[in-house]
Amino acid sequence: MAHIPRIYLPDATAGEERPLSPTLSHHLTRVLRLGDGARLFAFDGRGHEFDARLLGTKRDATVRVGTLRRTEDAPRLDVELWAGISRRTRMEWMLEKAVELGVATIRPVLCERSKTRLDDAQAARKHEHWQAIVRSATAQCGRAWLPDLSPPRPLVSLWEHAPCDIRLFLSPGAGVALPSLPAPKGRVALLVGPESGFSELETRRASETGWQAIKLGPRILRAETAGPAALAAIQALWGDWRVDT
């Protein structure tokens, strides 16, 4: 069976015809070389996926949304990833893998040891670029739910703004391993530091505001590895990777 491209169409409705952005039109008609009438799958980011057809072969191509083909349940476990902002390719790789691993929300945070510094304009551009990566990863991995991506914010301003059942932060020196924790009853927040880890002040502040330090094992993982590894472990223990699902 030939591969059928998936595209993100927010608030898609069966029977409507929607214009495509010049970027998406170019990708479908010039990069993928799809012809007029080519079959697509369109997902709305809220759990619905539709059959669709490409109309036109230029930068102003449109898409006709067809019938609903499936409805995807919301993720079994609502996981927020608080990701310390790392250098460009590492951050992008982590965002992509977090989407594939079923994260529900991603909150990029600037830590004291983050090697990237952003003014307001740079933060806005980063957010837009990261949103494109999240959309692309969602389409590629077959999800119909689009993770929420927050604008980058300083970690210092967010400590107490995580209304989650369990709040975890990765620390190689922690004495608690993830499997020893009880299964959460609600949302899980996972905080991962940047390349150089958390400062002493951040580690202390995390403990003071109800975050539980955990370790993943005997080895120190890179920032871009630690987040996906922890997400995979969480999904295997409590989420949609459990053998009883």
CATH number of 42's domain: 2.40.240.20
- What domain range is 231 assigned to? 79-237
242: left (phi over 0), alpha (psi -120 to 50) or beta: beta
1 domain residue, yes or no: no
Residues 50 and 94 occupy one common structural domain:
no
What Å distances lie between residue 55 and 14, 20, 21, CA to CA?
A: 15, 10, 13
Q: Mark whether 33 and 126 lie in a shared domain.
A: no
- Considering the domain architecture, whether residues 47 and 161 belong to the same structural domain is answered as no
Q: Can you tell me the distance from the alpha carbon of 34 to that of 175, in angstroms, rounded to the nearest whole number?
A: 54
Q: Strand, helix or coil at 237?
A: helix
Per the structure, the count of domains in the chain is 2
Flag whether pLDDT at 58 surpasses 80.
no
Name the range with the highest mean pLDDT among 18-32, 45-59, 95-109, 203-217: 95-109
Q: Are 179 and 237 in contact (CB under 8 A)?
A: yes
pLDDT at residue 1 greater than cutoff 60:
no
Q: Which of 71, 98, 114 is the last residue of a domain?
A: 71
SS3 call for 123 = helix
Do 126 and 46 fall into the same domain?
A: no
Q: Does 97 fall in a domain?
A: yes
29 plus 110 within the same structural domain: no
CA 4 to chain centre: 22
Q: Decide if 245 is inside a domain.
A: no
Residue 92 within a domain: yes
What integer pLDDT is reported at residue 37 of this predicted model? 93
What is the pLDDT at residue 87?
86
Q: Could you please report the per-residue DSSP string of 216-229?
A: -SSSPPPHHHHHHH
Cβ pair 94, 73 in contact under 8 A = no
* pTM of the predicted protein model: 0.91
pLDDT band at 117 (very low <50, low <70, confident <90, very high): confident
| SS3 call for 34 | coil
Please report whether residue 165 resides in a domain.
Answer: yes
For residue 109, the model assigns a pLDDT of 93
Residue 20 shares a structural domain with residue 112: no
> DSSP alpha helices (H): ranges in 44-119?
88-100
- Length of the chain as a residue count: 245
Per-residue model confidence (pLDDT) at position 67: 97
Residues 159 and 57 in one domain: no
64 and 91, same domain (yes or no): no
Contact between residue 68 and residue 48 where contact means Cβ atoms under 8 Å apart: yes
Same-domain check for residues 160 and 59: no
**Structural tokens at position 1:** 């069976």
Residues 64 and 98 in one domain: no
- pLDDT for 67-99, tens place per residue? 999 999 988 899 999 999 988 899 999 999 999
Report the distance separating Cα 147 and Cα 46, nearest Å.
9
Bridge pairing between strands 105-110 and 48-55: unpaired
Q: How confident is the model at residue 2 (pLDDT cuts 50, 70, 90)?
A: low
Q: Is 44 helix (H, G, I), strand (E, B) or coil?
A: coil
